[in-house]
A = this chain, B = another copy of it.
C-alpha cells in the first residue's frame, strides 16, 4: 500500500526485482540522470553489486531478500552459501543481517521460502508506514525542514503524509558531499512528490536556521543506540549542533534501536579520500594534496530531541 505513495526510486520494483534470468538492481550511483539496472545472475553477482555500492541505504536489504528467493527457486543447495556471501557484502548493515538470519530460521521451521520473503517485505512496508505516521505528527503546517543525505522511506513518507494532510512544508536539502546523495536522490524524490524544496550546499544550514527558515531537523540513522546516541552520515553533527544552538528540534528515524552496542563500540570508517578530491569526474584538487573522508558522525544524546521508532519517540 505504501509503495504507491513513495517516490519512484523507492518503490520496490525500482530498487530490485526478480526476472527469469536473475536479480535486477537499480544502479543508484548513476541516478538521477541515468536509469540503469544491473543484472545479477546469481548470489555471487548480487553480493558483488552490494559490495560495489550499486545500491545503498535500504537497497541492500531488498536485493538480499530477492537474491535469497531467486537462489531458493533456481539453486536451492546454495542457499546457505548465498546467506553467507550476502552478509559479507555489507558487514556494517545490521538490519540486513538480522533479517536474513530471521528468514533462514523461519525457513528451517516451515520450509515456505516464498511466504517468508513476502512476509519480510510486508514487515518493512508496515514498519515504514507506522514510523512515518509518528514522523508526520512532528511536522507542523508552514514549517521548514532540514535534512542530511538521503533519509529514504520513513522521512519521505512522513513528508508525503504531511502534504496529504494539507500541511505546507519547505525542505532544505544539503547536497551531501562527497557522494551528493542529497543532490542526486533526496531533492529529486521530494520534487517528484510535489514537496517544495531547495538544494543547498553543506555549509549553508546554519545560515537558514539563523534566518528563521528552518523549524525542524530530521535525518535517518545508520545506527541508533538506546542511550539516544545517533550515528549518521558526516555533516549530521554540524547541523545537530547548529539546531541545538538555535533551539530547533532534531529527530532521527530508526527502524530498530541497537540494543547490543555502546558508544565505545562505534568505529568510524574512513573511505577513499579521492572522492573528496573529485566530484562526479571533475577533479577539484591536486593529486599531491591530502584529503580525509570519515563516513559517519556520532551525535551525542544531548543534541538529539528524539529517535522516531515504531514504538514511539524515544
Contacts and interface: CB of A to CB of B under 8 A. Distances in A.
A229 to B, nearest CB: 12
B297 A206 contact: yes
Interface stretch (A14-22, A195-203, A250-258): A195-203
A177 B201 contact: yes
A180 B279 CA distance: 11
Interface in A266-314: 276-277, 279-286, 288-294, 297-298
Nearest to A213: B292
Interface stretch (A36-44, A131-139, A235-243): A235-243
A292 B197 CA distance: 10
Interface stretch (A55-63, A75-83, A182-190): A182-190
A174 interface: yes
Interface residues of A, number: 55
A201 B235 CA distance: 9
Main secondary structure of the interface of A (DSSP, over half): mixed
Given A191-B289, A279-B279, A203 B202 contact: yes
A152 interface: no
A7 interface: no
A204 B234 CA distance: 6
In the complex, the count of this chain's copies comes to: 2
A175 B175 contact: no
A249 interface: no
- In this complex, which of A174, A205, A279, A290 has the most chain B Cβ atoms within 10 angstroms of its Cβ? A279
A180 B234 CA distance: 19
Contacts of A285: 175, 183-184, 187, 199
- In this complex, which of A210, A281, A289 has the most chain B Cβ atoms within 10 angstroms of its Cβ? A289
A295 to B, nearest CB: 10
Contacts of A279: 279-280, 282, 284
A29 to B, nearest CB: 13
A289 B196 CA distance: 10
16 contacts: A174-B203, A177-B202, A178-B201, A180-B284, A184-B285, A198-B290, A199-B291, A203-B234, A204-B235, A206-B237, A206-B241, A207-B294, A207-B297, A210-B237, A241-B242, A281-B282
